[in-house]
Amino acid sequence: MNYRIALDGPSGAGKSTIAKRLSAELGFVYVDTGAMYRTVGLYCLQNNVDIEDEAAVAAVLGNISIELKYIDGEQRILLNGTDVSKEIRMNEVSMAASKTSAYKAVRAFLLDAQRNVAKTQSVIMDGRDIGTVVLPDAEIKIFIVGDATVRAKRRHKELLEKGQNISLQEVLEDIITRDHNDTNRAEAPLRQAKDAVLLDTTYKNFDEAYEAVLEIVKSKME
């Protein structure tokens, strides 16, 4: 039997890190939907597309080809054949993704690709609307949350380790803005699916959060 695991939640809640480790342990395919949206945002920034103009963003989607590849067990994302796995993690790209992901055309552009991956294999997919829109019939749904300040500290540490020079205050402001954008957008807003298990990771370190998710998954699979 194939299983579909949906991990949803706000920015910095630890979804992607948990999903990667979980996919390795269970042997499932990991699908980073956020990376797909970031890639659209990156393309717009690289090509001077006004991200505030929905029609302008929609007009360039036909020029974008996104591929997920696995190299040495690690997921890489390619934009028109070029590996942009590092570039999409820049803070300005995160904000561009938060803006463009609210557009109906962008979500429709990526929706089929995301669903197709889950048709023939067991997958772990993380994002904002996996359990509510992308895979509403997923067998396992978990909604991961955490205090905004704690999430900002985690994200700030990650960005510093990647060599980005940014203050904690900037990261916190960006997370608050993204939370607002994600929960208030008209298209597929961030919200907990009715049948999703809620997990608050505010007072958990990574290992504790991972074990909590793993316990939920195993109980559901049984």
Per-position pLDDT tens, the chain of length 222: 889 999 999 988 999 899 999 999 998 989 888 899 999 999 999 999 999 999 999 999 999 999 888 777 677 899 999 999 999 999 899 899 989 998 999 999 999 888 988 888 899 999 999 999 999 999 999 999 999 999 999 999 988 998 888 999 999 999 999 999 999 988 889 999 999 999 999 999 999 999 999 999 999 998
What is residue 184's predicted lDDT score, i.e. its pLDDT?
93
Say how far residue 125 (Cα) sits from the centre of its chain.
8
In angstroms, what CA-CA distances link 63 with 51, 56, 80, 102, 109? 15, 12, 8, 19, 12
Q: Distance between CA atoms of 120 and 193, rounded to whole angstroms?
A: 23
In angstroms, what CA-CA distances link 56 with 69, 82, 105? 28, 23, 11
In angstroms, what CA-CA distances link 198 with 35, 140, 192? 23, 12, 8
Q: Distance between CA atoms of 122 and 200, rounded to whole angstroms?
A: 25
What is residue 103's predicted lDDT score, i.e. its pLDDT?
94
**Number of residues in the chain:** 222
Q: How would you list the strands of the sheet with 66-71, edge to edge? A: 66-71, 74-79, 82-83
What is residue 125's predicted lDDT score, i.e. its pLDDT?
95
What is residue 137's predicted lDDT score, i.e. its pLDDT?
96
Per-residue tokens: 28: 């499932």
Q: Distance between CA atoms of 160 and 162, rounded to whole angstroms?
A: 5
What is residue 71's predicted lDDT score, i.e. its pLDDT?
76
Please report the domains of the chain, with CATH numbers, ordered by start residue. 4-221 (3.40.50.300)
What is residue 144's predicted lDDT score, i.e. its pLDDT?
97
Q: Distance between CA atoms of 97 and 127, rounded to whole angstroms?
A: 12
Q: What is the DSSP letter of 118?
A: T
What is residue 82's predicted lDDT score, i.e. its pLDDT?
96
Pairing of strands 123-127, 29-32: parallel
Burial of 31 (0-12, 13-18, 19+ CB in 10 A): buried
What is residue 7's predicted lDDT score, i.e. its pLDDT?
97
Do 96 and 41 touch, CB atoms closer than 8 A? yes
Q: Distance between CA atoms of 118 and 35, rounded to whole angstroms?
A: 17
